[in-house]
Amino acid sequence: MNRKGTTLNMKKSSIVGVKPLIGETAMKVDPNLGTLTLKDIEQANDEIIKFEHDQLLQALYWIFDAMERALINFYLVGTTAESVRQKKDLFGGKIMIAVRKNEWESGARNIIDAFAPPIVDNGTTVEYEYNGVPVILYVLEDSETLSSFDTTIYAQEYFKLPNPYDEFVKKFEWLK
């Protein structure tokens, strides 16, 4: 689906070559194969646009510092959370975090905006970049899984995960 909700007429297996091209994706497509959603395209991009663990870790430390300065609780989500939960190297094409909407709108956001102005802000997703690594912040409505957190140590720092994490993943499945 594109951002307006219409479906692109492609299938996952129809991607012959996907590569980044100045913010867009260039594809060779067989239109007879079916449907490919925007999420499929983003996942394909994440598989191709990869950063080294050290680059992702530096971006994670950077957003950690920004959130600490603004006194905003944040949670690791998506591939970032999976790596931290499993105590494995970070992987993928971005750092993914989430904040509760009421904390984000409480006024502390002004501090982080002064420290790190966002590249894109559509209200529910705020995008930052640190040394070329995208840092995606999701602003989420309140949920039981965000009312408490599970603290874990990763790379000599304490990070928060939604608690219970499995329930969070069920509720916010689109954040995988």
Give the C-alpha separation, 138 to 172, whole Å. Answer: 11
The whole-number pLDDT of residue 21 equals 38
Q: Which of 63, 81, 79 is nearest to 127 (CA)?
A: 63
Q: What Rg, from alpha-carbon coordinates, does the chain have?
A: 17
The whole-number pLDDT of residue 110 equals 87
Give the C-alpha separation, 71 to 169, whole Å. Answer: 25
CATH class of 53-175: alpha beta
pLDDT tens sequence for the chain (176 residues): 444 443 343 333 333 333 343 344 444 455 555 665 666 666 665 555 689 999 999 999 999 999 998 999 999 999 999 999 899 999 889 999 999 888 898 888 888 888 889 999 998 999 999 999 999 999 988 777 777 788 888 988 899 888 877 788 787 777 66
The whole-number pLDDT of residue 145 equals 72
Helix (H) / strand (E) element for 138: namely strand 133-140
Which residue ranges does the chain devote to CATH 3.30.460.40? 53-175
Give the C-alpha separation, 52 to 92, whole Å. Answer: 8
Residues with Cβ within 8 Å of residue 88, at least 6 apart in sequence: none
Helix (H) / strand (E) element for 43: namely helix 38-48
